[in-house]
């Protein structure tokens, strides 16, 4: 089949939350953007995750005008309880003692996906669905050529910049010859919603068990999103159980603090690995989000970190004369490396330092929790990390033109819960 050829400023490969948000921001800033997504138009319908968004991430969404659409379906996190199975008590962080209305917000992944789908239609991004990368040509001086394959044939695009936003298994990254550091954790995560007979009152729970971490995140409507990490063979068993068997096992682990738990939706399974790209850019090509760094979900930091990539990259590209210029990409990489290193190191430590079968782990955890509880500055550092309070280029993002509306799109809800976090 003949390939049609077209020029554009930026080609984004991968229409997940990272590629989707970046596409909207760049198009609103006046760049000609094409977004290629391998999946169907609404691939996230079956995504059962509830994303814990740090306060800094909520601010980015708010600055760019999208938070008002997400807010009605967000649940503020008022307290985080960290505990160890078999140990006494828990470390509690609460919003009031941090001087903020909420430590973060939990938003269903499917809701973010739906919001971005509307936003993409409204911004004039050309979206190629069910379309993936076939060939990445060597970079010319001005552009990088790419062949994409989709249901209506091949597309040849010559972009001033190609953005790899195609997740941890990024084919775009591989085609550019960028190597990765990869560690497959011997565990998967089962993710599903439950209802509890006692209200969660905005409390999030993170419990370290001998199998791995177990988190319950508060959701609107009295639901909680469960992220249950365990060795792969235990996940096999749990995935094959009936809802009532699985919930009985969960109840035995978390106790009765939330009353009786009931299944409230399908179960999805996620393999867990650490993937770090050895570099963040190539000639007229840049990595962002999970394509640059895939993390264990223990600290709920992956998307938060990724959206800081988006904020910095959008700021740099919108103020550059040539979005693919090497100095622009080098400045982005320099600005992001420290944050990525820090978050990946802390997350990997939590994922590996407290896991299955290591005899020293309970003691290390007990010591860590004691330290966290007793030493104010350390606790503050943890809370700031968890809330994502690192400086963000809000000034640049605020300068974007107002949010355009898709014709026929539902007007943004006015309830701005969590505003001003
Ligand atoms: C169990 C679990 C819970 C999590 N919870 C949290 C949380 O509470 N808070 C948080 O901050 N983070 C969390 N994360 C991390 C978060 O999911 C990721 O950081 C986020 O998904 C990264 O988004 P992305 O768009 O970079 O990648 P992805 O979400 O992986 O999206 C990549 C997209 O690219 C498309 N694609 C792939 N290959 C191609 C190709 N060749 N051509 C075209 N398209 C392609 C895919 O179809 C997909 O749509 C969690 C992760 C897991 C596994």
Q: Tens digit of pLDDT for each residue in 144-169?
A: 999 999 998 999 999 999 999 999 99
**CA distances in angstroms from 102 to 53, 90, 98, 194, 211, listed in the order given:** 11, 19, 9, 22, 30
Nearest to 19 by CA among 166, 173, 169, 175: 166
Q: Decide whether any atom of ligand 1 lies within 6 Å of the 304 Cβ.
A: yes
Q: Could you tell me the distance, in angstroms and rounded to a whole number, from the CA of residue 87 to the centre of ligand 1?
A: 34
For residue 381, name the pLDDT band (cuts at 50, 70, 90).
low
Which residue has the CA at smallest separation from atom 29 of ligand 1?
16
| pLDDT at 290 exceeding the cut of 60 | yes
> Per the structure block, which two tokens stand in for 140?
């010319």
Q: Could you tell me the distance, in angstroms and rounded to a whole number, from the CA of residue 90 to the centre of ligand 1?
A: 31
pTM given for the model: 0.89
Ligand 1, atom nearest to 270 Cα: 53
pLDDT at 356: 43
For residue 368, name the pLDDT band (cuts at 50, 70, 90).
low
Which residue has the CA at smallest separation from atom 48 of ligand 1?
16
Q: Could you tell me the distance, in angstroms and rounded to a whole number, from the CA of residue 59 to the centre of ligand 1?
A: 20
Q: Decide whether any atom of ligand 1 lies within 6 Å of the 191 Cβ.
A: yes
Mean pLDDT of the region 68-84 = 92
Nearest to 254 by CA among 221, 318, 208: 208
CATH superfamily of 4-182+272-398: FAD/NAD(P)-binding domain (3.50.50.60)
Ligand 1, atom nearest to 50 Cα: 8
d(CA 91, CA 375): 12
Block residue for tokens 């828990």: 90
Parse the chain into domains and list their residue ranges.
4-182+272-398
| pLDDT at 401 exceeding the cut of 90 | no
Mean pLDDT of the region 135-152 = 92
d(CA 116, CA 114): 5
Q: Could you tell me the distance, in angstroms and rounded to a whole number, from the CA of residue 109 to the centre of ligand 1?
A: 10
For residue 355, name the pLDDT band (cuts at 50, 70, 90).
very low
More confident residue, 330 or 350: 330
Q: Could you tell me the distance, in angstroms and rounded to a whole number, from the CA of residue 165 to the centre of ligand 1?
A: 9
| pLDDT at 360 exceeding the cut of 50 | no
Q: Could you tell me the distance, in angstroms and rounded to a whole number, from the CA of residue 372 to the centre of ligand 1?
A: 30
Length of the chain (residues): 421
d(CA 393, CA 312): 6
d(CA 117, CA 412): 14
Q: In the chain, how long is the greatest CA-to-CA distance?
A: 67
pLDDT at 92: 85
241 Cβ neighbours under 8 A, 6+ residues apart: 249
pLDDT at 298: 86
Pocket test for ligand 1, best of 61, 213, 289, 302 (most atoms within 8 A of CB): 302
């Amino acid at each position: 089949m003949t390939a049609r050829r077209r020029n554009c400023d930026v080609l984004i490969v991968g229409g997940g939350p990272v590629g989707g948000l970046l596409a909207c921001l760049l198009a609103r800033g006046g760049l000609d953007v094409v977004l290629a997504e391998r999946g169907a138009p609404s691939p996230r319908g079956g995504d059962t995750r509830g994303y814990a968004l740090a306060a800094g991430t909520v601010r980015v969404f708010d600055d760019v005008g999208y938070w008002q659409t997400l807010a009605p379906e967000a649940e503020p996190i008022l307290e985080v309880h960290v505990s160890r199975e078999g140990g006494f008590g828990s470390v509690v962080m609460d919003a009031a003692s941090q001087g903020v209305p909420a430590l973060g917000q939990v938003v269903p992944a499917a809701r973010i996906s739906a919001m971005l789908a509307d936003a993409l239609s409204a911004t004039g991004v050309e979206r190629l669905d069910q379309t993936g990368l076939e060939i990445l040509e060597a970079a010319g001086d001005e552009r990088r050529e790419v062949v994409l394959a989709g249901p209506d044939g091949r597309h040849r695009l010559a972009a001033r910049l190609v953005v790899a936003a195609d997740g941890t298994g990024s084919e775009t990254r591989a085609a550019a010859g960028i190597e990765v550091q990869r560690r497959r954790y011997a565990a998967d995560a089962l993710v599903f919603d439950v209802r509890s007979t006692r209200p969660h009152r905005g409390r999030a729970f993170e419990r370290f068990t001998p199998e791995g971490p177990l988190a319950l995140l508060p959701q609107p409507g009295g639901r909680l999103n469960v992220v249950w990490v365990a060795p792969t063979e235990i996940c096999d068993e749990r995935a094959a159980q009936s809802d009532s068997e699985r919930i009985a096992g969960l109840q035995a682990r978390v106790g009765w603090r939330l009353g009786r738990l009931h299944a409230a939706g399908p179960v999805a399974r996620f393999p867990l690995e650490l993937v770090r790209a050895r570099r963040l850019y190539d000639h007229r090509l840049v990595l962002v989000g999970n394509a640059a760094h895939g993390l264990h979900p223990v600290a709920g930091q992956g998307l938060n970190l990724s959206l800081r990539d988006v904020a910095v990259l959008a700021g740099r590209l919108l103020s550059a004369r040539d979005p693919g210029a090497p100095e622009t990409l080098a400045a982005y990489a320099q600005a992001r490396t420290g944050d990525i290193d820090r978050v990946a190191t802390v997350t990997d430590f939590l994922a590996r330092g407290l896991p299955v079968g290591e005899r020293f782990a309970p003691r290390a955890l007990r010591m860590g929790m004691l330290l966290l509880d007793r030493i104010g500055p350390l606790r503050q550092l943890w809370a700031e990390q968890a809330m994502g309070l690192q400086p963000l280029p809000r000034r640049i993002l605020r300068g974007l033109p107002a949010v355009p509306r898709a014709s026929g799109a539902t007007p943004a809800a006015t309830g701005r819960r969590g505003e001003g976090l």
